[in-house]
């Protein structure tokens, strides 16, 4: 057994020389097998051990006996022992989650605290081949995709390691008996009250009896094949993600060219983009991935609501994934600035330079502007300001009759929402005269009767 565990450790590069490994130990057969085997291997592979135990306070005196048992074994092996008592039922009620989820969160929080406190490198968990088979069946029945069917990873985040992942529960129990470990038995594991217990106690025995006596090995073999194929697709998707996505801290634009990829790759591009902006895929399900894929079919400006306050927004160049807070007008911390005639305003934080000039029409013959220089009739203008968009803004685009909502005008331009927030507006007496870089207002066009001309140049500074 130790040789098989050693082979697994070496195959997946689980432990390096001089590592400190914290072993999660409940006191049951799996974790006691893991603790004992790592204890025997530690001197051979040159790593140190510590044990971590969480008392969930769910089984009263039995739980206390579990804790004391693990403590005594660690004393026997001369291994540092750390424990924590947590009222899992109270935690479950306060957070509105199941006791299973609460227990898992409590354990991982404790393990990670120990990892940092003792500057350890690895946390060893006792998941085995049976756990892998059960997980595969659970996810299959939930309708997961190929990524979900990879099951439990032997190594996660280069920290969490599972040296027993290829060992069956039967072999583990035999190991405990041969080494006289006398592990503690949690009787709730023998009750069909949780989905996993039902699979363990009812479904797998039925499959063994009626279909395949070696079903655990078969399911683990399937997991290995699925993992191989999934890893290939993930690597392909990562290359496509870098090719087709523009990334910032709070936003990812998936370009239209990504549609040329197979849907298996596109869906993985979307998942990677969601992980980038949301920090993980919690609450994002397949239905949301499909909704984002369908967003490419929508017209510009349309959006799809996603969990946790995120949205998918159809833009000219692709689909943007962004949080709603980044789309609100009020989040742009820019004020309103006076633009005195004959002066230049430099806004360093916005890398913007605005110059305003005044001309008498007899002195000025050419009114032809450029993208960033425009001329206006200034006969009645008293106050010139620069600001950014506000809720309810309207203006009359040059050559049109009647005012339009600035929001609708931006949508027609297919201008990304973050660009809308950053587009300067030149206002005359509070009215929008120029959407800088785009259209001027019909209300301030120069005519034969114009006596005063105002010239404005807006430049972006690097």
Q: What secondary structure letter does DSSP report for 325?
A: G
What domain count does the chain have?
A: 3
The values of phi and psi at residue 251, to 5°, are -150, 145
Q: What is the pLDDT of residue 5?
A: 96
pLDDT digits (tens, 9 = 90+) for 20-48: 999 999 999 999 999 999 999 999 999 99
Please report the pLDDT score of residue 92 as a whole number.
85
User: Do 12 and 127 sit in the same domain of this protein?
Assistant: yes
**Within-domain flag for 237:** no
Q: Same domain for 195 and 273?
A: no
Whether residues 22 and 123 fall in one domain: yes
Backbone φ and ψ for 424, nearest 5 degrees, come out as -70, 150
State CA 238 to chain mean position distance.
15
Kindly state whether residues 138 and 168 are assigned to the same domain. Answer: yes
Contact 295, 302 (CB under 8 A): yes
Between strands 373-377 and 452-460, the pairing is antiparallel
Q: Are 331 and 418 in contact (CB under 8 A)?
A: no
Same domain, 112 and 94: yes
Do 20 and 150 lie in a common domain?
yes
Q: Quote the pLDDT of residue 197.
A: 87
**Of 278, 303, 327, which marks where a domain is finished?**
327
pLDDT at 102: 87
CATH at 217: 3.40.50.620
Alpha carbon 23 to its chain's center: 28
Q: Residue 323 is part of a domain; what is its CATH number?
A: 3.30.465.60
pLDDT, position 331: 34
Whether 312 maps to a domain, the answer reads yes
Report the percent of the chain where pLDDT is more than 90.
58
Distance of CA 273 to the CA centre of its chain: 8
- Cα 90 off chain centre by: 29
pLDDT of residue 330: 34
Enumerate helices (H) and strands (E) in the chain, giving the number of each: 14, 21
Are both 127 and 270 inside the same structural domain?
A: no
Same domain (yes/no): 115, 174: yes
Q: What is the pLDDT of residues 361-380, one digit of tens each?
A: 655 555 666 778 899 998 88
pLDDT at 190: 64
**In-domain check, residue 40:** yes
Q: Is residue 365 part of a domain?
A: yes
pLDDT at position 362 is 56
**Structural domain for 317, as ranges:** 248-327
Of 277, 306, 327, the residue at which a domain comes to its end is 327
User: How many other C-beta atoms can be found within 10 angstroms of the C-beta atom of residue 311?
Assistant: 18
CB 138 within 8 Å of CB 177:
no
- Strand, helix or coil at 244? helix
Residues paired with residue 318 on neighbouring β-strands, in sequence order:
255
Q: What is the largest CA-CA distance in the chain?
A: 107
Encoding tokens for residue 81?
């022992």
Gyration radius from the chain CA atoms = 32
246 HSE (CA, 13 A, CB side):
9
Show the low-confidence residues of the chain (pLDDT under 70).
Answer: 188-193, 300, 326-334, 361-369, 461-462
286 and 364 in a single domain? The answer is no
């Amino acid at each position: 057994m130790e040789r098989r565990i050693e082979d697994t450790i070496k195959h997946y590069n689980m432990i390096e020389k001089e590592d400190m490994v914290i072993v999660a130990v409940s006191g049951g057969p799996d974790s006691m097998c893991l603790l004992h085997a790592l204890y025997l291997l530690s001197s051979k592979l040159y790593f140190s051990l510590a044990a971590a135990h969480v008392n969930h306070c769910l089984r009263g005196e039995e739980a206390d006996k579990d804790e004391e048992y693990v403590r005594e074994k660690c004393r026997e092996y001369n291994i540092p022992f750390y424990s924590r008592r947590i009222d899992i039922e109270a935690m479950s009620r306060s957070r509105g989650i199941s006791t299973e989820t609460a227990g898992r969160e409590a354990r991982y929080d404790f393990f990670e605290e120990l990892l940092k406190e003792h500057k350890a490198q690895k946390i060893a968990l006792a998941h085995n081949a049976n756990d892998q088979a059960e997980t595969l069946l659970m996810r299959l029945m939930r309708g997961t995709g190929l990524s979900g069917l990879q099951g439990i990873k032997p190594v996660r985040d280069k920290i969490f390691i599972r040296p027993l992942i290829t060992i069956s529960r039967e072999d583990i129990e035999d190991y405990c008996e041969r080494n006289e470990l006398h592990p503690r038995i949690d009787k709730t594991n023998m009750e069909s009250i949780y989905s996993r217990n039902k699979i363990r106690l009812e479904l797998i025995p039925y499959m063994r009896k009626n279909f395949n006596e070696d079903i655990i090995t078969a399911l683990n073999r399937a997991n290995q094949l699925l993992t191989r194929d999934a890893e290939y697709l993930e690597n392909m998707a990562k290359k496509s993600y870098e090719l087709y996505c523009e990334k910032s801290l709070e936003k990812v634009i998936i370009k239209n060219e990504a549609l040329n990829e197979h849907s298996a790759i596109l869906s993985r591009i979307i998942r990677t983009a969601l992980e980038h902006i949301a920090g993980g895929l919690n609450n994002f399900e397949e239905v949301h991935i499909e909704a984002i894929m369908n967003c490419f079919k929508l017209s510009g400006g349309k959006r799809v609501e996603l969990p946790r306050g995120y949205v998918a927004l159809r833009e000219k160049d692709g689909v943007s994934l962004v949080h709603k807070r980044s789309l609100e007008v009020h989040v742009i911390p820019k004020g309103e600035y006076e633009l005195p005639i004959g002066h230049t305003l430099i806004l360093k934080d916005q890398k913007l330079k605005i110059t305003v000039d005044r001309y008498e029409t007899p002195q000025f013959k050419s009114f032809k502007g450029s993208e960033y220089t425009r001329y206006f009739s200034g006969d009645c203008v008293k106050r010139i300001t620069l600001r950014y968009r506000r809720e309810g803004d309207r203006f009359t685009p040059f050559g049109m009759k009647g005012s339009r909502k600035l929001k609708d005008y931006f949508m027609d331009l297919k201008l990304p929402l973050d660009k809308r927030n950053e587009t300067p507006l030149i206002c005359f007496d509070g009215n929008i005269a120029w959407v800088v870089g785009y259209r001027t207002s019909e209300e301030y066009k120069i005519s034969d009767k114009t006596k005063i001309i105002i010239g404005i140049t807006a430049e972006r500074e690097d």
